[in-house]
Structure 1
Amino acid sequence: MRVVCPHCFSVNNVPKKDSYKKANCGKCKQSLLNTAPLELNENNFDEVVANTDLPVIVDFWAPWCGPCQMMAPNFKAAAEHFPLKAVFSKVNTENEQNLGARFGIRSIPTLIIFKNGVEVDRATGALPKEQLIEFVSQYTN
């Protein structure tokens, strides 16, 4: 399966397994098991979404948004449950207004799940960790 490195954004081919003890990027040699949400912008958004075979979960948020700030730790904690199963990422709609407009973001936080480069689901509002895990689990194999 194709996976985008969370460090250097290189595309890697990784054998699909139920779990991984170790998986490193072929270019930068850093771990592909890093679950920290990626910061996406107009320059890397399409590349990440199109070049990974994993579901990409995008949190559209803004720094001034109270519910976004409340959900941020839940989003990060939920990501830890999906190493090489899903890519968690964030788009700051304050800085990336074109991406917000492109995806019709009317309220934040809004989560969009992309699979094979196409939007397959979305949810609006701050979600607790357990609900985030359940929401994403529907799209991981």
Structure 2
Amino acid sequence: MSEKTADSLHVVCPHCQTTNRVRTQQLGSAPDCGQCHKPLFTGHPVALDTAAFERHVGRGQLPVLVDFWAPWCGPCRQMAPAFEQAARTLEPHVRLAKVDTEAQPALGARFNIRSIPTLALFVGGREIARQPGAMGSADIVRWTQHALRRAPTV
């Protein structure tokens, strides 16, 4: 069973939230969801509510980089295009997601988000790194890759 796990990953669809098993060598081949037949990777961050957060972070086996933000936050709006660009660079090996802390206050409270924007990187359902403040696309990519290299294997 561990050999099968190494050959494939559970990837949650950004459209219908169905968990799909994808062979690791097919990640870069634009795989589609087995349920809704839409692309599993869009090059755009996924907006998450609490239920979708649980699926992507808890069931998906890709690292998930979450931008905790709010619509009234100037630095959050300023960083949004950079986060979007980082999604195009980091996918399909990292899922990028956004959590609107105003619309999803329970998630902000659960993760003790005290300032926004805050990036949090989750691997294996656990937060492994956090970075408050707005960053450019190259810095987001560099920070994420560095954090993943330092992450304990799950």
TM-score of the superposition, structure 1-length normalised?
0.94
State the partner residue of 2:141: 133
Number of residue pairs aligned between Structure 1 and Structure 2: 140
Q: Does the alignment pair 1:32 with 2:40?
A: yes
Relative to structure 2, which stretch is displaced further, 39-48 or 102-111?
39-48
State the partner residue of 1:110: 118
State the partner residue of 1:23: 31
State the partner residue of 1:87: 95
Give 1:65-84 correspondences, 5 Å limit: 65-84=73-92
One-letter amino acid of the counterpart of residue 134, structure 1: R
One-letter amino acid of the counterpart of residue 126, structure 1: A
Q: CA deviation at 1:19?
A: 5.8
Q: CA deviation at 1:42?
A: 1.6
CA RMSD of aligned residues (A): 1.4
Q: CA deviation at 1:70?
A: 0.5
State the partner residue of 1:100: 108
Structure 1 segments (4+ residues) deviating >4 Å: none
Asked if 2 retains the 8 angstrom alpha-carbon contact of 1:35 and 1:87, the reply is no
What is the percentage of aligned positions where both structures have the same residue?
A: 41
Change (3 A) 1:19 1:26: closer
Q: Which runs of 5+ in 1 are unaligned?
A: none
Q: Which runs of 5+ in 2 are unaligned?
A: 1-8, 150-154
Structure 2 residue corresponding to 1:9, chosen from 10, 13, 17: 17
More helix by proportion, 1 or 2?
A: 2
Ranked by relative contact order (alpha carbons within 8 Å, sequence separation 6 or more), the top structure is: 1
Q: Does the alignment pair 1:119 with 2:127?
A: yes
CA distance in 2 between partners of 1:52 and 1:43 (Å): 13
State the partner residue of 2:4: none
State the partner residue of 1:46: 54
